[in-house]
Amino acid sequence: MKILIVGASGFIGFHVCKLLLSFNYDIVALTRNPRTFDSLSVRYKKLIILDESCQDTFAYLDNIDVVIYASGIAHVQSELSNHIISLVLNVNLSKPLLYAQKCLKHKVKKFIFISSAKVHGEISTTKNPFYVDSPLNPCNLYSISKQLCEESLHSLFMNQESNLAIVRVPLVYGPNSKGNIRKFINIASLGFPLPIGSLDMNLRSYISIYNLCDFLIAVINYRYSFNHAFLIADKKPLSTKEFVEKIILSNNIKLKTFSFPPFLLRVLLILLNKKLMFEKLCHSFVVNSSYAENFFNWVPPLSFEESLQFNYDD
């Protein structure tokens, strides 16, 4: 089975490539940064690297069985110019739809689109988590672009022989994580204390890159037809405090924390035009992945602690 990964040099795409290669899959990595794969190309003979900027046609789809679309812009600045809006909609909406159309033309068997759990909104409660059939309520340009793409993909694949899996994920963590995880690690590595001492009253869902890859393998190997969205997460949600503490300690960094009243943190972040960051730090965001687990007879194989210690190079 030959698998094409679009966005292969990104955080998710690179780890998916690496893990699938370790399971002996034939991988075609489509990337704008081929040098990212120098070490992997030496180690794995079943890896083909394509420079996306040099591909004028989609002829490389002819012998592909599965496409995993992991490309996109996730971190969008607060102040949106027309240029930023156009760029995000092009990368997160127009481009994946173009690839999906080409996949149908070239008879690709499965198209797997990495979406976001944030299409359901930014805040849940611990007693009322998001389910895959919960109402959609995207709150920013990133999640709106994901919702629009999901809707178009469902219509595109309706009554087609090719299968569609839309995989909605919460925050994904793992080696060389980006975004806010990287910011916390960088601050702690400089010896500065983090204001997370009082952020222990919420619960948030996360998924390790290893559990995400394991789910993708379940989708790849599934023998029956589907055209569904799937919401997945690690088994146990964590408070912001516990998550950040364990991530930083797993990087062998000495951690200093202090308590900062949440209402003062909210005021400070609003003044800094970072209101969304407050919601990510202080509010709960819990998802229920039972539908995906039952559909594919799948359970996340690693706990949070096991994911932090796991190394697929061993």
The pLDDT tens digits of the residues spanning 60-75 come to: 999 999 999 999 988 7
| pLDDT tens by residue, 155-165 | 999 999 999 99
- Residues 204-257: tens digit of each pLDDT: 999 999 999 999 999 999 999 999 999 999 999 999 999 999 999 988 888 889
Quick one: pLDDT at residue 314? 43
Q: Return the pLDDT at 305.
A: 94
Greater pLDDT, 125 or 175: 175
Q: For residue 181, what pLDDT band results from cuts at 50, 70 and 90? A: confident
Instruction: Output the pLDDT for position 279.
Output: 76
5, 61 Cβ separation under 8 angstroms: no
pLDDT of residue 268: 79
Residue type, 307: S
d(CA 12, CA 109): 22
DSSP designation for 136: P
| For residues 159-183, average pLDDT | 92
Q: Structural domains in the chain? A: 2-176+205-235+286-302 (3.40.50.720)
DSSP string, 82-135: HHHHHHHHIIIIIHHHHHHHHHHHTT-SEEEEEEEGGGG-S---SSS-B-TTSP
Q: What is the DSSP letter of 24?
A: T
pLDDT in tens, 25-65: 999 999 988 888 887 876 788 899 999 877 777 989 999 99
pLDDT at 293 over 90: yes
Provide, for the chain, the percentages of residues in helix, strand and coil under a 3-state DSSP scheme, each rounded to the nearest 5. 45, 15, 40
For range 80-86, the mean pLDDT: 85
pTM of the model: 0.92
Contact 195, 227 (CB under 8 A): no
Q: Give the pLDDT score at 112.
A: 98
Higher pLDDT, 262 or 97: 97
